[in-house]
C-alpha cells in the first residue's frame, strides 16, 4: 500500500493479504527491495498513483488497485505494456464530488465563510454585511462532461442556471449548450466549473487567457485535479481581481500548497475532499477490495482501467 485507507479497509486487507505499508517506512527503497519478489498487488490512492519506476521494481506485480477515480498518477502506458491490470473507483464518488462543487460555488458567491466570521466576530452588531453574488439563474460553464460534469450540470439545472459545457465532443443526449472553444465558453460564463480528468492532455488547460475571458465578475471552481489549472495564472488573477473568486478542492503540490492561497480573501479552499464522506469512502474501499478479490480468484474485474 502506498498510502493509508480508513480502519475498516485496513482491517479487512490485513486479514486477507500480507500488507506492506510504504508510507510508514523510513527507508522506502529498502522496504520495496526486501519484498520486491513477493509483491503481487499495489493498493494506492488517487493522488499517490504508481509510477513506472515503482512498478519496474516489482517483477511479480499483477495489479494496481486505485482508491480513487483519477488514474493520472498511475503510469498506464507502463502497466499496459507489462501486463499489469489497473482498477479505479468510478461512479461511487460522482455525486459527492458534484455536491462539493455546488458547495464551493455557493460558499464563494454567497461568501458563506466570510458571513460566518462576520457573525462570530460581532461585526454584524456594527453594520449589515456587504452584499454578495447570486448563484440562481446564472450562466455556468462546465469544463469536461464526464460523470462528474453531468452530475454538476444536474445540480446547476436545479438552480435554474443556463448551462454550457466544453468537452472533447458534443453529447447529443444532453440538453446543455456545447461550446468547442474553452476561451469562448469562459467569456460567456459567470461561473466556470472544472470537472476534467487530470493528465498530460488537460494540463494547464485553464490558463491566463481562459481566466481573463471569465473576467472580474467570474468565479472558478476546480473539483478535478490541480494540474488542469495554471496555478501561477490563477494566483495572479485572484490577487489582482482579474477574476472575482475561486473555490478549490485541488492544487499543485498537494498537500503543501502555495502559501499565497491562504492570504486571499476571495477563495474557499478544501483539502482534496470531494469524495471525503464516510459513505463514499466506504464504497471506494469496498471497490478496491472487491477488485483485488476478483483478480486473485480469477474473476472479471469490476472496474478495470487496464
Does the active-site annotation cover 272?
Answer: yes
| 3-state SS, residue 212 | helix
Q: Does 165 participate in binding ligand 8YV (rule CB under 6 A)?
A: no
Q: Does 93 bind ligand 8YV (CB under 6 A)?
A: yes
- Among the listed residues 248, 240, 253, 303, the one whose alpha carbon sits nearest the alpha carbon of residue 273: 248
CA distance 237 to 244: 9
For residue 17 the three cell numbers come to 493479504
Please, which residue, 227 or 275, has the CB nearer to ligand 8YV? 275
As given in the structure block, the three cell numbers for residue 260 are 499565497
* Residue position matching grid coordinates 447570486: 134
Per-position x/- string for 50-89, each x denoting binding to ligand 8YV as judged by CB under 6 A, each - no binding: -----------------xxxx-------------------
Residue of 85, 225, 289, 295 marked active site: 225
Site mask for ligand 8YV (CB under 6 A), range 9-48, x = bound: ------------------------------------xxx-
Is residue 285 near ligand 8YV by the rule CB under 6 A?
no
Distance set, CA 239 to CA 9, 10, 161 (Å): 42, 43, 27
Q: What size, in residues, is the chain?
A: 306
Among 150, 244, 272, 295, binds ligand 8YV (CB under 6 A): 272
Full strand arrangement of the beta sheet holding 267-269 = 177-178, 162-166, 139-143, 191-194, 219-222, 245-248, 267-269
Catalytic residue among 272, 281, 289, 295: 272
Determine whether 225 is an active site residue. Answer: yes
162 is catalytic: no
Site residues (vs ligand 8YV, CB under 6 A): 45-47, 67-70, 93, 272, 275
Please identify every residue annotated as catalytic: 225, 254, 272
Amino acid at each position: 500500500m502506498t498510502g493509508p485507507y480508513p480502519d475498516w479497509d485496513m482491517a479487512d486487507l490485513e486479514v486477507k493479504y500480507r500488507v506492506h505499508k510504504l508510507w510508514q517506512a523510513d527507508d522506502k527503497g529498502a522496504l520495496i527491495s526486501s519484498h520486491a519478489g513477493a509483491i503481487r498487488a499495489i493498493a494506492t490512492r488517487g493522488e499517490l498513483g504508481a509510477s513506472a519506476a515503482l512498478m519496474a521494481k516489482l517483477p511479480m506485480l499483477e495489479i494496481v488497485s486505485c482508491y480513487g477515480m483519477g488514474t493520472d498518477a498511475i503510469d498506464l502506458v507502463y502497466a499496459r505494456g507489462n501486463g499489469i491490470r489497473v482498477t479505479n473507483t468510478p461512479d461511487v464518488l460522482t455525486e459527492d464530488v458534484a455536491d462539493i462543487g455546488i458547495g464551493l460555488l455557493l460558499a464563494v458567491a454567497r461568501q458563506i465563510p466570510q458571513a460566518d466570521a462576520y457573525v462570530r466576530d460581532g461585526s454584524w452588531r456594527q453594520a449589515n454585511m456587504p452584499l454578495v453574488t447570486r448563484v440562481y439563474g446564472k450562466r455556468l460553464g462546465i469544463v469536461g462532461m464526464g460523470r462528474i460534469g453531468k452530475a454538476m450540470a444536474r445540480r446547476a439545472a436545479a438552480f435554474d442556471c443556463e448551462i454550457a459545457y466544453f468537452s472533447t465532443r458534443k453529447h447529443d443526449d444532453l440538453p446543455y449548450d456545447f461550446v468547442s472553444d474553452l476561451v469562448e465558453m469562459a467569456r460567456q460564463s459567470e461561473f466556470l466549473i472544472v470537472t476534467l480528468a487530470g493528465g498530460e492532455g488537460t494540463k494547464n488547460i485553464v490558463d491566463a487567457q481562459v481566466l481573463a475571458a471569465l473576467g472580474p465578475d467570474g468565479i472558478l471552481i476546480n473539483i478535478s485535479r490541480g494540474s488542469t489549472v495554471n496555478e501561477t495564472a490563477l494566483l495572479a488573477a485572484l490577487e489582482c481581481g482579474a477574476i472575482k473568486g475561486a473555490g478549490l478542492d485541488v492544487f499543485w503540490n498537494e498537500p503543501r500548497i502555495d502559501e499565497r492561497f491562504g492570504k486571499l480573501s476571495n477563495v474557499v479552499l478544501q483539502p482534496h475532499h470531494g469524495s471525503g464522506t464516510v459513505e463514499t469512502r466506504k464504497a471506494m474501499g469496498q471497490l478496491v477490495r472487491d477488485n483485488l478479490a476478483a483478480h486473485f480468484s480469477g474473476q472479471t474485474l469490476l472496474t478495470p482501467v487496464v
